[in-house]
């Protein structure tokens, strides 16, 4: 069993597991941090961005002023943002049988994998994962396509040139494999390969392996996966949460008894408490509004935003923000809000019981109904006429490189009255802000990452007790910036097996048994005998049928009657057809009892001779020798086949067959 690791990003994993003749891809994460190296894509012409100076090396020998621009001491690529894809060279992607998706954030590279690689398999995901994943992809494509950029910068990717560039561009890895966003057509084609599954549904793969998603508690429809055969079990744990937010709670007990547990998607903010961050978010928001400023919240269109809106729903009245407009701007804002209300089955118990009333599970329905929250597909159109300040704007993309958020950065960045509050943990806020410097607006960093922290995960592992743990190498040492915090790493016995991008791990597995089914007819014919207390044995002779990786044992068919032919006369010369070979024998033949048995069968003249290892019995009348030893019996008998078979059967009475 092997694990191929195609992504180095611990929360956006992409691994391939080879297990019992199946090839299973676990998640398909797209590393979007690469876009931080690019200039933002403005929705309307930005004089500031277009006036940025081009970059020329200090000695003047390298001139890339068309491709690279400088802003506040950092260099950015002036081109459509590109993403760092999962490794494509490590194994042939067309051999992948299935892709298992754990949550909608971990499927963003799907079109790159399923299209143009020869992939012919199936993708498994839950319904919310598919629907919200589709929205996020649609949004990404929309963000990119509505501001097309003619120029495509490639010179800087030249190895010789990249080496001379200032950091962090210099240190960016695999830049020549970075790709632009996919098209909507590719998204549709990729998602048409998705097959929907429900929690705890057992999906058979080729009869060899069974996979099953479990609730992971992180987002709507998010799942961990169990990959198992009758005797081996691999658990794949990705983005999981033990906090009670909106999704169904995490199913922990089903992870028990794993041979291998692959652990990814722990919190990226191990020191930030989500509840505390939520409090800080609210108080900063209220403070800015009261002072007459605007609040910008860069966020994804699904996920934590539901919790933020719910928190605000309770907070608005008490903070006297009843008249402040809240705007949610995204091409998929409406869909995201609507979809969140129809997945009752995937929600926590509290929200489920609301649906029974029937009421919408999320209170943002009420915010919309009372006109406190308004959503728009973009800043163009209705929004521009209805927009009132001061206000709160939720919009994407959290990298601040594309989407409507770029416009608000340009609009509000210059005033210190305004505040930007970062809630998404995926991007360093300083890097995100770099191309907007110098900036007057206040910046508040409240990353809300509900995924498991190190304390929770070690408790979880103690409970579910996997034999081996595999995890990204980042989890086996404290973070670089906090190297003294030994509590911010995984300490396990035996130590976890670390992986990095391009690792190929041999998983420690010894498969020893496989499941077969004994057909009823054969089962009825078996004759078990007790060999030790509580242990019975039966010899089995059967025909093995293997079909679709399922094995069955059937009775040996009776040989067809020999057709009468000329050969009949010579039938004695036909060698025996061995149907059932004789079983192995075990035990010993006790002398006294054996002699008594012989006597019963009319053999009375027996001369017993003691030897080093046992006895030799001389049957004088029959001129036959029987050598009895602890672990063997030898019958020497000439020219008397009936006697020999009688003796054989008498000996067999004392022995166990197996």
Partner 1 sequence: RSCILVSIGGKNIMLDCGMHMGYNDDRRFPDFSYITQNGRLTDFLDCVIISHFHLDHCGALPFMSEMVGYDGPIYMTHPTKAICPILLEDFRKITVDKKGETNFFTSQMIKDCMKKVVPLNLHQTVQVDDELEIKAYYAGHVLGAAMVHIKVGSESVVYTGDYNMTPDRHLGAAWIDKCRPDILISESTYATTIRDSKRCRERDFLKKVHESIERGGKVLIPVFALGRAQELCILLETFWERMNLKAPIYFSTGLTEKANHYYKLFITWTNQKIRKTFVQRNMFEFKHIKAFDRSYADNPGPMVVFATPGMLHAGQSLQIFKKWAGNEKNMVIMPGYCVQGTIGHKILNGQRKLEMEGRSTLDVKLQVEYMSFSAHADAKGIMQLIRMAEPRNMLLVHGEAVKMEFLKGKIEQEFSIDCYMPANGETVTVTTNPSVPVDISLNLLKREMALGGPLPDPKKPRTMHGTLIMKENSLKLVSSEQALKELGLNEHQLRFTCRVQLQDPHSDTDTLHRIYTHLKSVLKGYTIQHLPDGTVMVESIVIKVSSSTEDPNTKVLLLSWSYQDEDLGSFLSTLLKKGLPSGLC
Which of the residues 563 through 582 are near partner 1 (CB under 8 A)? 572-573, 575-576, 578-582
Q: Is 654 exposed, middle or buried (0-12, 13-18, 19+ CB in 10 A)?
A: middle
CA-to-CA distance for 161 and 171, rounded, in angstroms?
12
Q: Which stretch binds partner 1 (CB under 8 A): 79-87, 323-331, 334-342, 380-388?
A: 334-342
Examine residue 348 and tell whether it contacts partner 1 (CB under 8 A): no
Residues in 594-633 at the binding interface with partner 1, rule: CB under 8 A: 630-633
CA-to-CA dists, residue 413 to 208, 293, 409, angstroms: 58, 11, 5
Distance of CA 614 to the CA centre of its chain: 64
Residue with tokens 């869909």: 335
Examine residue 382 and tell whether it contacts partner 1 (CB under 8 A): no
Q: Which of 531, 591, 606, 616 binds partner 1 (CB under 8 A)?
A: 531
Which is closer to partner 1, CB of 119 or CB of 199?
199
Interface mask (CB under 8 A) for partner 1, residues 407-446, using x and -?
----------------------------------------
Q: Which stretch binds partner 1 (CB under 8 A): 83-91, 112-120, 333-341, 463-471?
A: 333-341
Residues in 511-530 at the binding interface with partner 1, rule: CB under 8 A: 511-520, 523, 526, 528
CB of 501 to partner 1, least distance (A): 33
What is 592-605 written as a DSSP string? HHHHHHHHHTT---
CB of 459 to partner 1, least distance (A): 24
Q: Given phi > 0 = left and psi -120 to 50 = alpha, else beta, which region is 137? A: alpha
Phi, psi of 163 (to 5 degrees): -60, -30
Which is closer to partner 1, CB of 512 or CB of 566?
512
CA-to-CA distance for 351 and 353, rounded, in angstroms?
5
Examine residue 591 and tell whether it contacts partner 1 (CB under 8 A): no
CA-to-CA distance for 209 and 202, rounded, in angstroms?
10
Q: Given phi > 0 = left and psi -120 to 50 = alpha, else beta, which region is 534? A: left
Strands 15-19 and 22-26: antiparallel
Examine residue 540 and tell whether it contacts partner 1 (CB under 8 A): yes
Size of the site for partner 1 (CB under 8 A): 93
Q: Which of 430, 556, 596, 621 binds partner 1 (CB under 8 A)?
A: 556
Examine residue 641 and tell whether it contacts partner 1 (CB under 8 A): yes
User: Measured in Å, how far apart are the chain's first and last C-alpha atoms?
Assistant: 34
Asked if 81 and 152 count as a contact pair (C-beta separation under 8 A), the reply is no
CA-to-CA dists, residue 399 to 31, 186, 209, angstroms: 12, 23, 39
CB of 238 to partner 1, least distance (A): 20
CB of 331 to partner 1, least distance (A): 12
| Beta carbons within 8 Å of 401's beta carbon, 6+ residues apart | 35, 36, 38, 39, 40, 41, 81, 432, 435
Residues in 165-204 at the binding interface with partner 1, rule: CB under 8 A: 197-202
CA-to-CA distance for 396 and 427, rounded, in angstroms?
13
Interface mask (CB under 8 A) for partner 1, residues 202-221, using x and -?
x---------x---------
Q: Which of 33, 46, 284, 341 binds partner 1 (CB under 8 A)?
A: 341
CB of 198 to partner 1, least distance (A): 4
Q: Which stretch binds partner 1 (CB under 8 A): 96-104, 114-122, 442-450, 634-642?
A: 634-642
Please tell me the number of Cα atoms within 13 Å of 485 on its side-chain side.
13
Examine residue 456 and tell whether it contacts partner 1 (CB under 8 A): no
């Amino acid at each position: 069993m092997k694990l191929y690791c195609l992504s180095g990003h611990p929360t956006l994993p992409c691994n391939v597991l080879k297990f019992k003749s199946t090839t299973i891809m676990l998640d398909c994460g797209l590393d979007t941090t690469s876009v931080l190296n690019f200039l933002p894509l403005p929705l309307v012409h930005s004089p500031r961005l277009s006036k940025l100076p081009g970059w020329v090396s200090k000695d003047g020998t390298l001139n890339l002023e068309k491709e690279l621009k400088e802003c506040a001491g950092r260099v950015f690529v002036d081109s459509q943002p590109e993403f760092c894809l999962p490794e494509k060279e490590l194994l042939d992607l067309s051999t992948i049988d299935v892709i298992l998706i754990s949550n909608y954030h971990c499927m963003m590279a799907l079109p790159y994998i399923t299209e143009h690689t020869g992939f012919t398999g199936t993708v498994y995901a839950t319904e919310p994962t598919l629907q919200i994943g589709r929205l996020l992809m649609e949004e990404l494509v929309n963000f990119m396509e509505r501001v097309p950029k003619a120029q495509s910068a490639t010179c800087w990717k030249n190895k010789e040139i990249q080496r001379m560039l200032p950091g962090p561009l210099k240190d960016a890895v695999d830049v020549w494999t970075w790709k632009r966003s996919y098209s909507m057509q590719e998204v549709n084609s990729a998602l048409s390969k998705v097959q929907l599954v429900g929690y705890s549904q057992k999906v058979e793969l080729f009869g060899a392996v069974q996979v099953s998603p479990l609730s992971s508690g992180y987002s709507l429809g998010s799942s961990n996966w169990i990959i198992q055969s009758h005797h081996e079990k691999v658990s794949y744990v990705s983005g999981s949460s033990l906090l009670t937010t909106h999704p169904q709670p995490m199913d922990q007990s089903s992870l028990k008894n794993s041979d291998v547990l692959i652990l990814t998607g722990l919190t990226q903010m191990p020191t930030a408490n989500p509840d505390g961050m939520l409090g800080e978010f609210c108080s900063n928001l209220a403070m800015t509004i009261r002072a007459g400023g605007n609040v910008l919240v860069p966020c994804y269109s699904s996920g934590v935003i539901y919790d933020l809106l719910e928190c605000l729903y309770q907070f608005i009245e008490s903070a006297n923000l009843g008249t402040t407009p809240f705007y949610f701007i995204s091409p998929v804002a409406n869909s995201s809000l609507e979809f969140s209300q129809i997945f009752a089955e995937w929600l926590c118990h509290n929200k489920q019981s609301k649906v029974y009333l029937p009421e919408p599970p999320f209170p943002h329905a009420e915010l919309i109904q009372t006109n406190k929250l308004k959503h728009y597909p973009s800043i163009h159109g209705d929004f521009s006429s209805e927009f009132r300040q001061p206000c709160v704007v939720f919009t994407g993309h959290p990298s601040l490189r594309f989407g409507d958020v770029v416009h608000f950065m340009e609009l509000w960045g210059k005033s210190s009255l305004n505040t930007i509050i970062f809630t998404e943990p995926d991007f360093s806020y300083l890097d995100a802000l770099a191309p907007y410097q110098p900036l007057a607006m206040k910046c508040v960093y409240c990353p809300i990452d509900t995924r498991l922290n190190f304390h929770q995960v070690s408790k979880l592992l103690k409970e579910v007790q996997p034999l081996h743990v595999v995890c990204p190498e980042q989890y086996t040492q404290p973070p670089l910036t906090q190297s003294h915090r030994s509590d911010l790493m995984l300490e396990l016995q035996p130590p976890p097996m670390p992986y990095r991008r391009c690792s190929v791990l041999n998983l420690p597995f010894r498969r020893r048994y496989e499941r077969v089914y004994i057909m009823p007819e054969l089962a009825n014919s078996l004759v078990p005998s007790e060999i030790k207390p509580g242990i019975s044995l039966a010899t089995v002779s059967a025909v093995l049928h293997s079909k679709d990786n399922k094995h069955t044992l059937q009775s040996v068919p009776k040989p067809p009657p020999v057709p009468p032919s000329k050969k009949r006369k010579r039938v004695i010369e036909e060698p025996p057809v061995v149907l059932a070979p004789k079983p192995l024998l075990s035990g010993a033949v006790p002398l006294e009892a054996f002699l008594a048995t012989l006597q019963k069968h009319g053999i009375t003249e027996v001369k017993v001779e003691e030897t080093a290892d046992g006895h030799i019995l001389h049957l004088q009348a029959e001129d036959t020798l029987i050598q009895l030893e602890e672990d063997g019996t030898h019958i020497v008998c000439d020219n008397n086949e009936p006697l020999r078979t009688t003796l054989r059967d008498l000996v067999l009475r004392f022995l166990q067959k197996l």
